[in-house]
Structure 1
Amino acid sequence: MHLADFAAPNTPAAAAARELAEAYSTPSLLNHVTRSWLWAEAFAEVEGRTDVDHELVYVAALLHDIGVAPAFDNVALSYEEAGGHVAVALTAGAGWPAARRQRVLDVIIRHNWPSVDPEQDVEGYLLEIATGLDISGARPDVLPAEFVAEVLQAYPRQALADEFTAAVTDQAERKPTTAAHRLVLGGIAAKLRDNPLERQRDPLER
């Protein structure tokens, strides 16, 4: 498994999601959402999942945290729900039918669930475990070590631990009924700090 094995979908929605993520994300968060897409695709391959909507995974991954960007920070909604509605608007412009637009909203919201049943939502499951790896360090040894190192070299973690901790803590304080509050109570700061991927800043360090 190599980074070159995974190519972004060549579709208007995928291109627009990438453009939006680049415009509104910090470098650390842009790398995080890109890695999340790559981890999701890699988990799908390792688990032999062939029933995956790859365009849906890509768009959801690239936009799953855009709700923490000031331009899309909703006054009441959780950041994942706010980001999901950004994805709904984007995919409406790309011509997705209503049912598929609902799917991108569902996938983005569910990435913050404690777990997602792959029989219910395989794309939501893949994004949940992918972000679980990138944020909390869950399942660190499932993907091939050489692939993980290659991804980290291409898309380094930079200041993700500090930036994401600050963003989620701010969300939790202002919106205490949302998933951000659960993440803070669950020790997201420590999970980010202690994530095994944080110890692999040098891609040759294995």
Structure 2
Amino acid sequence: MRLQDLRAPETPATRAALELATACHTPALLNHVLRSWLWAEAFALLEDRHGVDHELLRTAAVLHDIGLVEAYDNVALSYEEAGGQVAVALTAGAGWPAERRRRALEVVVRHNWPSVDPAVDVEGHLLEVATGLDISGARPDALPDDLVDAVLTRHPRLTLAEEFGRQVSDQAARKPGTAARRLVDGGLLSKLAHHPHEGRAAAR
């Protein structure tokens, strides 16, 4: 499994998603969403998942934290729901039919679930597992070391721990009924600070 084997589908939706994320996210958060997509595709290969909608997965992965951005932060909705609604609007502009737009919302929302059954939502499962690795350090030894090092070299973590921890803590304080509160109460800040990938690329 090599980094060059994980190719993004080039479509109006994936291009627009990347343009929006690049314009809105800091370098650390942009690297996070891109790593999340790469981890998701790698887990698809590792777990031999079939029938993956790679355009949907790429679009959802790149937009999954856009609800943390001030311009798209909703006063009441969780950040994943707000981000999912951005994905709905963007994919509508790309010509996706209503059912597929709903799938973009579902995948973004479900990335914050504790787990997603791949038999029900394979793209949601892959994004949940991928973000679990990149944020909480879940399954740190599942993917090949060479791939992990290549991804971290191309998309380093930078100040992700501080930025993401601050943003989600703010969401948890303002929206205590959302997944952000569960993440913070579950030790998010400690998991970020002691993440197994912190400093890994620089150390090798």
Instruction: Name the SS for the 2:82 alignment partner.
Output: helix
Distance 1:90 1:143 in 2: 31
Q: Which whole-Å deviations, capped at 9, do the CAs of 1:50-106 have from their partners, x for residues lacking one? A: 210000000000000000000000000000000000000000000000000000100
Instruction: Name the SS for the 1:197 alignment partner.
Output: coil
- % of aligned pairs identical? 66
Shift of the alpha carbon at 1:201? 3.8
Contact persistence 1:152–1:203 (CA under 8 A)? no
For residue 23 of structure 2, what is the amino acid of its counterpart?
A
Structure 1 unaligned runs (5+)? none
Aligned: 1:97 with 2:82 = no
Residues 96 and 203 (structure 1), Cα distance of their counterparts in 2 relative to 1, 3 Å cut: farther
Aligned: 1:64 with 2:64 = yes
Q: Which whole-Å deviations, capped at 9, do the CAs of 1:13-56 have from their partners, x for residues lacking one? A: 00000000000001000000000000000000011112100000
1:118-197 residue pairs with structure 2 within 5 A? 118-197=118-197
Q: Which whole-Å deviations, capped at 9, do the CAs of 1:150-201 have from their partners, x for residues lacking one? A: 0000000000000000000000011111110111100100011111011414
Structure 2 unaligned runs (5+)? none
Q: Which whole-Å deviations, capped at 9, do the CAs of 1:89-146 have from their partners, x for residues lacking one? A: 0000000000000001000000000000000100000000000000000001110000
Distance 1:164 1:120 in 2: 29
For residue 95 of structure 1, what is the amino acid of its counterpart?
G
Instruction: Name the SS for the 1:117 alignment partner.
Output: coil
Figure out how many residues of one structure are paired with residues of the other and give that number. 204
RMSD: 0.8
Question: 2:3 corresponds to which residue?
Answer: 3
Q: TM-score, normalised by structure 1?
A: 0.98
Shift of the alpha carbon at 1:10? 1.1
Instruction: Name the SS for the 2:189 alignment partner.
Output: helix
Deviant stretches of 4+, over 2 Å: none
Distance 2:6 2:122 in 1: 18
Q: TM-score, normalised by structure 2?
A: 0.99
Question: 1:39 corresponds to which residue?
Answer: 39
Instruction: Name the SS for the 2:198 alignment partner.
Output: helix
Distance 1:183 1:79 in 2: 12
Distance 1:178 1:114 in 2: 13
